[in-house]
Structure 1
């Protein structure tokens, strides 16, 4: 695997060679076409294999070698990467050579966002090797890592921590808006690969080994991101513990431990963004279970449940995650171990979601919101998360009177839907819908629809509600009591905005 020697062997030259070979996101899409390129993102290799079999271009050669795990010829690779040829890649530990054929020792592929182009080294997947994963496997770019990257707010910060960095995907994103980046992992192999990725992309990270917050001592941060080893794995004999997914605690203990420590690790106003699984026992509501994690922490908490699975679904997913498939030797034993574990502990379902945490800058009662959103959301979600944090903080600090005094404006992406019986004079259902963000939809009454319609920044909230109460001939205080909770939700999720949120 990469060691200290290749890092001194001019990784910037390798980066330039990859660019010259068009081994970039755009170059691969042009080579494969959009259908095969999207299939490759889903780890389906056949379309890309078919698209590159008769293509001798440098980008096709590199796709076959590093993204598909297929052998290529030594001369073919030498032509694809002049200056970083087969011999040099072999010396760096990136490939193995058997006669005239070369095989990748690692997955290497381009990755990026709207503003950055990176390359990420990771271990070969089971799709590429045809074998179950070793327990020290280092994941590359996957659905969880891209979800976390999408949901992380990108405000400028002085100090950021990537807890459980793996191959370094989150640290790459942090380079665009954090002055100093600390990245930790329990896996020595992960940190070695992360150091290679830092060098390959011209980044400077402070890499440290250890569990959770142990490597950072008493240091604090403005932003903490974590895709922790949150998988709920039976602590039973014969069940393998994968470093990239299993935190070693019973149930969802690893995430609970992480959250409990956050008040001591965040600077005032600091934010933590993480992914998590949580167990929901029989007869319990997930909001009560996860909400209890934040009791007496003083943290603002915003949790969005994105998916749920019953015990069998969860067992099927993670029994096969390491490369075992239904019918393979050992699969049923692992499946049964998961089912026994859930049954013994009375678990009805497992939730998955995104957790956003903030340490308040001022002494006040922390806000807490736990919601379920299973459909499509804005991509990236980071800007909406940032705006949502600011809106919820403003609501908590402004109080009821501050909200009544505020001048609100309807966001540009908000629409109204009215549904009614044919021929009816009035609608039976009115829905206020958000086009971006979490794409929330709120069923409102006639009074609230009228309020939203006049939110153009001219009248204060209190003035608008008073006018509507007079029009509808209802007491002002009665309308305010019913309207303010809905208005708070609309402001929190960005359907209504005020410049005082900032």
Structure 2
């Protein structure tokens, strides 16, 4: 267990951060080398909250990578002379000045210790420009602290951060906003395709970490501003807004801890509603906002219907619900996330507070998912309004969302004259034994949303003929002749379903 001073925080300093980066680089303090140092099984165990497997492997190793691994990854005090050797440019004094550690004991005789007050971990990423890696500093986690997290904990890169990073549409923009930046990982990622990024947070400690992380990784196009929600950017507009806001629904009851990184301080899902009602005025024409969120089904109204009511009819909106939990399952999830387990004395008290809070609003389920808003370039025209539940594994979501928006623009002028089948689409036919005709025909999408869409013989025949040579009307006319039905009737049946296949990316304009 590592004891951390109250309100310990980093103090960004460009020169010292550059020295630390040089030392980390010289020590090969990166994901693959560290995983090779202590092995894949031990590395996977750390992700499950177990540091003992790593410690057993490197306990007797004294090299820089092992020393820094114990110090920054496991959060364990290390001998001062060993840290000095591992960080020759920065030194122990520089590390203390940055606010990332404290020096304790007899330093003159070499018997003192360096006690970490922050974590530094390499974080790999892949985007349209290639593969890269950041060093990300954040507060020590529960593994290092040996106790539940403090209320002002600054989280490192977690599952939600990685999910949002995958969602962001990878297009170059001039101005971007990372609202609720936390340790700054989204701002860093967005900075690769934005000229200027503004990163905001209500937590001064989070902003200090975010600024240090930008310095540590040589990123210089991010501005850092303190404040709640859109207050720090009043009167400003952006081409892209990304946010992993503190959307967790927490009861506002005495004795229930509120964590800055996840709790927005409002009742129910009011924070997500506030974001959706406020964001449009901060979007330039054509600008996009993307965020994660929770929403409640309450009083007989489904959660997705409530989200729909928060978005003006003049905006494009695409909401994807990934999962839906009962009040009990949701409460247990987030109580555990705070470090309180069913065996602990306070668990029942917290569970009661959560369930009472949901019951007071007649909440029957809580949804989680992704929200995309777009302010159209021009007035008029049809607006994209998609509210759907997608539970299957998905991939390359940023590209898939971008393609969906592009398809909506294409369909504004009607179905293209010629279409082709996307390269990742396959067809599956299911037959009853002894029956030559298929009982079920499915189109399966290999990438993106990995949709499986049931079709009939007419639509399957249409898709099979989309080779970019025949026009849509020529294909439908041929099918009308084959099935011996009027062209008008077949077109009325196929047209909305063809549109949906284009929207979903299974059919693409031939050009």
Q: Same fold, TM exceeding 0.5?
A: yes
Seen in structure 2, the aligned counterparts of structure 1 residues 94 and 3 have a Cα distance that, compared at 3 Å, is closer
Matched with 1:192 is 208
Determine the C-alpha separation between the residues in 2 that align with 1:40 and 1:351. Answer: 29
Determine the C-alpha separation between the residues in 1 that align with 2:502 and 2:61. Answer: 54
Query: What's the CA shift for 1:76?
Result: 2.1
Matched with 1:145 is 161
Identify unmatched segments of 5+ residues in structure 1: none
Determine the C-alpha separation between the residues in 1 that align with 2:10 and 2:163. Answer: 30
SS at structure 2 position matched to 1:222: strand
Query: What's the CA shift for 1:320?
Result: 2.4
Q: For residues 108-166 of structure 1, what are the alpha-carbon distances to aligned partners after superposition, in whole Å with 9 as ceiling and x for unaligned?
A: 11113133221111111122101222211111110101100011111000000000001
Match of 1:45 among 34, 48, 51: 51
SS at structure 2 position matched to 1:9: helix
Q: Is residue 334 of structure 1 aligned with residue 334 of structure 2? A: no
Contact kept, 8 Å, 1:437 with 1:493, in 2: the verdict is no
Matched with 2:402 is 386
Match of 1:416 among 427, 451, 455: 427
Determine the C-alpha separation between the residues in 2 that align with 1:171 and 1:315. Answer: 30
Query: What's the CA shift for 1:282?
Result: 4.9
Match of 1:301 among 313, 317, 340: 317
1:240-389 alignment, distance < 5 Å: 240-296=257-313, 298-363=314-379, 364-378=381-395, 380-389=396-405
Matched with 2:100 is 94
Match of 1:465 among 463, 476, 487: 476
Match of 2:122 among 106, 110, 115: 110
Contact kept, 8 Å, 1:384 with 1:437, in 2: the verdict is yes
Contact kept, 8 Å, 2:16 with 2:98, in 1: the verdict is no
Match of 2:250 among 207, 213, 233: 233
Matched with 2:461 is 450
Determine the C-alpha separation between the residues in 2 that align with 1:206 and 1:302. Answer: 29
Contact kept, 8 Å, 1:162 with 1:225, in 2: the verdict is yes
Query: What's the CA shift for 1:239?
Result: 1.8
Match of 2:235 among 210, 218, 231: 218
Query: What's the CA shift for 1:426?
Result: 0.4
Q: What TM-score, normalized to structure 1?
A: 0.94
Q: Is residue 434 of structure 1 aligned with residue 440 of structure 2? A: no
Determine the C-alpha separation between the residues in 2 that align with 1:478 and 1:271. Answer: 39
Matched with 1:72 is 78
Matched with 1:209 is 226
Two-structure CA RMSD over aligned residues (Å): 1.6
SS at structure 1 position matched to 2:432: coil
Q: Quick check: 321-330 or 413-422, which moved more? A: 321-330
Query: What's the CA shift for 1:42?
Result: 4.1
Determine the C-alpha separation between the residues in 1 that align with 2:103 and 2:340. Answer: 28
Q: For residues 288-319 of structure 1, what are the alpha-carbon distances to aligned partners after superposition, in whole Å with 9 as ceiling and x for unaligned?
A: 222222244x1111111111110011111112
Q: For residues 200-243 of structure 1, what are the alpha-carbon distances to aligned partners after superposition, in whole Å with 9 as ceiling and x for unaligned?
A: 11222111111111110111000000001101111222222221
SS at structure 2 position matched to 1:54: coil
Contact kept, 8 Å, 1:126 with 1:322, in 2: the verdict is no
- Structure 1 residue runs of 4 or more that deviate by more than 3 Å after TM superposition: 1-4, 41-44
SS at structure 1 position matched to 2:122: strand
Match of 1:36 among 21, 30, 42: 42
Q: Is residue 175 of structure 1 aligned with residue 187 of structure 2? A: no
Q: Quick check: 483-492 or 302-311, which moved more? A: 483-492
Identify unmatched segments of 5+ residues in structure 2: 1-7, 106-111
Q: For residues 229-279 of structure 1, what are the alpha-carbon distances to aligned partners after superposition, in whole Å with 9 as ceiling and x for unaligned?
A: 101111222222221111111111101111111221111111111000000
SS at structure 1 position matched to 2:402: helix
Seen in structure 2, the aligned counterparts of structure 1 residues 43 and 408 have a Cα distance that, compared at 3 Å, is farther
SS at structure 2 position matched to 1:60: helix
Determine the C-alpha separation between the residues in 1 that align with 2:507 and 2:177. Answer: 33
Matched with 2:65 is 59
Determine the C-alpha separation between the residues in 1 that align with 2:26 and 2:58. Answer: 18
Determine the C-alpha separation between the residues in 2 that align with 1:499 and 1:389. Answer: 17
Determine the C-alpha separation between the residues in 2 that align with 1:46 and 1:221. Answer: 46
Q: Quick check: 406-415 or 277-286, which moved more? A: 277-286
Q: Quick check: 41-50 or 327-336, which moved more? A: 41-50
Contact kept, 8 Å, 1:2 with 1:196, in 2: the verdict is no
Contact kept, 8 Å, 1:259 with 1:294, in 2: the verdict is yes
Determine the C-alpha separation between the residues in 2 that align with 1:140 and 1:39. Answer: 18
Q: Quick check: 78-87 or 118-127, which moved more? A: 78-87
Determine the C-alpha separation between the residues in 1 that align with 2:304 and 2:470. Answer: 36
Contact kept, 8 Å, 1:156 with 1:178, in 2: the verdict is yes
SS at structure 2 position matched to 1:242: coil
Q: Quick check: 425-434 or 7-16, which moved more? A: 7-16
Q: For residues 393-435 of structure 1, what are the alpha-carbon distances to aligned partners after superposition, in whole Å with 9 as ceiling and x for unaligned?
A: 322x22xxx20x4311111111110101111010000000000
1:10-29 alignment, distance < 5 Å: 10-29=16-35
Seen in structure 2, the aligned counterparts of structure 1 residues 41 and 385 have a Cα distance that, compared at 3 Å, is farther
SS at structure 2 position matched to 1:482: helix
SS at structure 2 position matched to 1:338: helix
Q: What TM-score, normalized to structure 2?
A: 0.93
Determine the C-alpha separation between the residues in 2 that align with 1:233 and 1:9. Answer: 41
Matched with 2:496 is 485
Contact kept, 8 Å, 2:318 with 2:387, in 1: the verdict is yes
Matched with 1:132 is 148
